[in-house]
């Protein structure tokens, strides 16, 4: 298809905001779910007796969302965006209902995987539609509306998630199950609003669908992510791990060959990466995703396990990071809209993320919360400087008929990094924390405060459990903290201190690893081309034909 098309018709501010209403509700559904679950996951994992398996609930969701993201982009380029956006919302609602039925962490992970099939289309399709109807220079300004959605969900999600997870039952249903059930009414409202406000006429493009590419992409990603999650239990050179390496590697090679064979009809056209802007932004997106999701996964655990905050309190304590993200996005969006230049924002943002993660490395179990919050603000501003500019860069760098693929590529890259970051960082955390706790006990147990607390009759049950673990030659972490950490909330602070120190030390290691990874991200972004955004663009294949 010829990418040279008539100019984009001038839409009024009211027309654009009418369309954005539907898009923002769909994005709100996805963003709210992630923040609610992130805050409540510790409580959920404790309830289901599987804290060490909590990564599965997050990783399974991210795996499926990541795999289907490029498929949504390609199919929407061919058949139109609205039907797939509505379909993504519907799948997400059904997945949320299924999650409320989980009785084990394994079941929850499976249902979250189904939910991710819908989530993969919510963010990328909303951004693609904005790319269709708004000129490049103005996109940064209108994406501020999406920022408002993200900011609102970041504020409401932790509070709602903490409140629901903190209730034993609501209307006869276990409190944490409402974390997923709350998506249903929001999703239904989103379906109605999108159906009534998003009216697009699509010019169908007759292309083959790269189903084989989608299957090979799945076969390449799933085994590698599986070994990232299970490697600490299997052993990194075990038969299971080596099998995953081989299957994932072979599938990755076959996927690469399939995409070259399909050319422009590929689910992830490899030629698009020849564009320097797309290639650099995609690679940077992977690295930033690793650091972003790794950091976001660690902070709620630090606040709840180490600092003893309730889920609701942890939600409020995360607000500085949210404010930093909003400030970074607003500042970058407004300046990009005025100047048309975006390159320096991702570079500065990557530097701030790197510094933020490095400073998190120095936060221990007893670090003052105000110091932690200052670092959260810095970390958030860095993220805010990267959210909009990189998506904007890839949308501007490709022909208009590839906006869906380009947008989904940017989202896909960030989700790939996020999935890897969550799996690897949580794996590092839970593989190192037993030894860290053991080392903390070695140094803290002989202290007077610990011994006095151990002799207190009120702590007799824990003293017996600890003695049994030590006599059996086992690690003191086998007292159950990796299955259910809720006992730390009632344990004498002097006795709980080794656990807090052990978790904090393991998290410090994770943050340091994230900082090292982000150094590579900073270096990659230095290669991002310096391009001035045009004030107008060619027309999209989908044109607005009605407003309500």
Place of tokens 């794996």: 427
Please compute the mean of the pLDDT values over residues 202-221 and round it to a whole number: 75
- Looking at per-residue pLDDT, the higher value among 156 and 258 belongs to 258
Specify the pLDDT at position 401: 67
Write down the domain spans for the chain.
Answer: 13-209+267-434+507-546, 210-266
**pTM listed for this prediction:** 0.74
**Is 31 in contact with 157 (CB distance < 8 Å)?**
yes
Please compute the mean of the pLDDT values over residues 56-83 and round it to a whole number: 80
What string of DSSP letters covers 251-285? HHHHHHHHHHHHGGGSSS-GGGGGSHHHHHHHHHH
Tokens found for residue 303? 């606040």
- Is residue 131 over pLDDT 80? no
Specify the pLDDT at position 540: 40
Specify the pLDDT at position 89: 92
CATH topology of domain 13-209+267-434+507-546: Growth Hormone; Chain: A; (1.20.1250)
Three-state DSSP class for 109?
A: helix
Three-state DSSP class for 119?
A: helix
Of these ranges, 46-60, 72-86, 197-211, the one predicted with the greatest mean pLDDT is 72-86
Three-state DSSP class for 235?
A: coil
Query: If pLDDT is split at 50, 70 and 90, which confidence band does 526 have?
Result: very high
Please compute the mean of the pLDDT values over residues 282-305 and round it to a whole number: 83
Query: If pLDDT is split at 50, 70 and 90, which confidence band does 421 have?
Result: confident
Tokens found for residue 242? 């080596």
Please compute the mean of the pLDDT values over residues 30-48 and round it to a whole number: 78
Choice among 208-217, 432-441, 520-529 with the minimum mean pLDDT? 208-217
Query: Which 8-state DSSP code applies to residue 101?
Result: T
Residue 543 has phi, psi (to 5 degrees) of -120, 145
- Looking at per-residue pLDDT, the higher value among 354 and 82 belongs to 354
Query: If pLDDT is split at 50, 70 and 90, which confidence band does 547 have?
Result: very low
| Angle between helical axes of 493-525 and 448-455 (0-180°, round to 10) | 130
What string of DSSP letters covers 476-490? GGGGTTTT-GGGGGT
Specify the pLDDT at position 383: 86
Specify the pLDDT at position 413: 82
Give the side-chain half-sphere CA count within 13 A for 197.
20
Specify the pLDDT at position 3: 40
Of these ranges, 93-102, 195-204, 304-313, 331-340, the one predicted with the greatest mean pLDDT is 93-102
- Looking at per-residue pLDDT, the higher value among 37 and 58 belongs to 37
- Is residue 153 over pLDDT 80? no
Please compute the mean of the pLDDT values over residues 493-518 and round it to a whole number: 89
Query: If pLDDT is split at 50, 70 and 90, which confidence band does 2 have?
Result: very low
- Is residue 186 over pLDDT 90? no
Give the side-chain half-sphere CA count within 13 A for 151.
18
- Looking at per-residue pLDDT, the higher value among 146 and 88 belongs to 88
Specify the pLDDT at position 354: 94
Specify the pLDDT at position 534: 62
Q: Would you tell me how many other CB atoms lie within 10 Å of the CB of residue 446?
A: 9
Spatial CB neighbours of 292, under 8 Å, sequence gap ≥ 6 = 353, 383, 414, 417, 418, 421
Spatial CB neighbours of 32, under 8 Å, sequence gap ≥ 6 = 153, 156, 157, 160, 183, 186
Query: If pLDDT is split at 50, 70 and 90, which confidence band does 475 have?
Result: low
User: What's the pLDDT tens digit per position in 253-271?
Assistant: 999 898 888 877 777 777 8
Q: Please give the Cα distance from 304 to 241 (Å, whole number).
A: 32
- Is residue 460 over pLDDT 60? yes
Specify the pLDDT at position 546: 36
- Is residue 1 over pLDDT 50? no
Of these ranges, 214-228, 284-298, 329-343, 345-359, the one predicted with the greatest mean pLDDT is 345-359
Alpha helices in 311-402 (DSSP H): 311-317, 319-339, 344-360, 369-397
**Is 385 in contact with 349 (CB distance < 8 Å)?**
yes
- Is residue 315 over pLDDT 60? yes
- Is residue 357 over pLDDT 80? yes
Choice among 24-33, 376-385, 447-456 with the minimum mean pLDDT? 24-33
Query: If pLDDT is split at 50, 70 and 90, which confidence band does 516 have?
Result: very high
Specify the pLDDT at position 32: 80
Please compute the mean of the pLDDT values over residues 407-414 and round it to a whole number: 78
Of these ranges, 297-311, 389-403, 474-488, the one predicted with the greatest mean pLDDT is 297-311
Spatial CB neighbours of 375, under 8 Å, sequence gap ≥ 6 = 356, 359, 360, 363
Burial of 473 (0-12, 13-18, 19+ CB in 10 A): exposed
Specify the pLDDT at position 247: 93
Please report, rounded to a whole number, the percentage of residues in the chain having pLDDT higher than 70.
83
Work out the widest C-alpha separation in the chain, in whole angstroms: 82
Alpha helices in 167-275 (DSSP H): 178-181, 183-197, 211-234, 239-262
Please compute the mean of the pLDDT values over residues 176-195 and round it to a whole number: 86
Q: Please give the Cα distance from 128 to 401 (Å, whole number).
A: 11
Specify the pLDDT at position 268: 76
Query: If pLDDT is split at 50, 70 and 90, which confidence band does 126 have?
Result: confident
Choice among 181-195, 247-261, 511-525 with the minimum mean pLDDT? 181-195
- Is residue 251 over pLDDT 70? yes
- Is residue 470 over pLDDT 70? no
What string of DSSP letters covers 156-174? HHHHHHHHHHH-SEETTEE
Residue 124 has phi, psi (to 5 degrees) of -65, -40
- Is residue 205 over pLDDT 60? no
- Selection from 190, 245, 198, 199 nearest residue 223 by Cα: 245
- Is residue 352 over pLDDT 60? yes
Residue 323 has phi, psi (to 5 degrees) of -65, -35
Please compute the mean of the pLDDT values over residues 391-408 and round it to a whole number: 76
């Amino acid at each position: 298809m010829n990418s040279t098309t008539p100019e984009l018709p001038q839409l009024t501010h009211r027309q654009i905001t009418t369309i954005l209403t539907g898009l923002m509700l769909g994005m709100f559904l996805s963003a709210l779910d992630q923040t609610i679950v992130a805050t409540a996951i510790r409580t959920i994992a404790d309830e289901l007796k599987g804290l060490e398996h909590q990564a599965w609930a997050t990783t399974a969701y991210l795996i499926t969302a990541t795999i289907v993201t490029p498929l949504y982009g390609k199919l929407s380029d061919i058949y139109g965006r609205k039907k797939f956006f509505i379909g993504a919302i519907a799948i997400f609602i059904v997945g949320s209902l299924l999650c409320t039925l989980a009785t084990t962490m394994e079941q929850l992970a499976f249902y979250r995987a189904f939910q991710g099939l819908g989530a993969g289309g919510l963010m990328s399709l909303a951004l693609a539609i904005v790319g269709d109807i708004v000129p490049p220079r103005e996109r940064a300004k209108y994406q501020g509306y999406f920022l408002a959605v993200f900011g609102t969900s970041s504020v409401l999600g932790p509070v709602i998630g903490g409140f629901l997870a903190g209730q034993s039952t609501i209307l006869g249903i276990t409190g944490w199950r409402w974390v997923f059930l709350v998506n249903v009414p929001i999703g239904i409202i989103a379906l109605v609003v999108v159906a009534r406000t998003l009216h697009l006429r699509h010019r169908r493009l007759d292309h083959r669908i790269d189903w084989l590419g989608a299957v090979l992409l799945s076969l390449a990603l799933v085994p590698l992510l599986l070994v990232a999650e299970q490697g600490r239990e299997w052993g990194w050179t075990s038969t299971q791990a080596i099998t995953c390496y081989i299957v994932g590697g072979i599938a990755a090679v076959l996927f690469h060959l399939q995409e070259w064979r399909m050319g422009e009809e590929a689910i992830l056209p490899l030629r698009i990466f020849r564009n320097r802007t797309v290639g650099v932004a995609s690679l940077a997106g992977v690295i930033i995703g690793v650091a972003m999701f790794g950091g976001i996964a660690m902070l709620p655990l630090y606040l709840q396990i180490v600092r003893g905050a309730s889920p609701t309190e942890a939600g409020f304590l995360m607000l500085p990071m949210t404010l930093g993200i909003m400030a970074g996005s607003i500042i970058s969006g407004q300046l990009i809209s005025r100047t048309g230049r975006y390159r320096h924002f991702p570079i500065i943002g990557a530097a701030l993320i790197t510094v933020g993660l490095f400073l998190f490395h120095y936060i221990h179990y007893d670090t003052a919360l105000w110091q932690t919050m200052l670092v959260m603000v810095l970390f958030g501003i860095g993220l805010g400087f990267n959210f909009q500019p990189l998506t904007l860069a890839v949308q501007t760098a490709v022909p208009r008929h590839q906006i869906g693929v380009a947008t989904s590529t940017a989202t896909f890259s960030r989700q790939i990094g996020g999935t890897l970051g969550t799996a690897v960082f949580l794996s590092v955390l839970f593989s190192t924390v037993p030894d860290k706790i053991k080392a903390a006990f070695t140094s803290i147990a002989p202290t007077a405060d610990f011994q006095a607390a151990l002799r207190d009759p009120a702590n007799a049950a824990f003293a017996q459990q600890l003695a049994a673990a030590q006599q059996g030659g086992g690690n003191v972490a086998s007292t159950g903290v990796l299955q259910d950490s809720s006992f730390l909330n009632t344990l004498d602070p002097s006795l709980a201190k080794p656990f807090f120190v052990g978790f904090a030390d393991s998290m410090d290691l994770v943050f340091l690893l994230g900082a090292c990874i982000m150094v590579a991200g900073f270096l990659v972004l230095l290669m991002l081309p310096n391009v001035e955004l045009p004030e107008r663009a060619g027309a999209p294949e989908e044109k607005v034909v009605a407003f309500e």
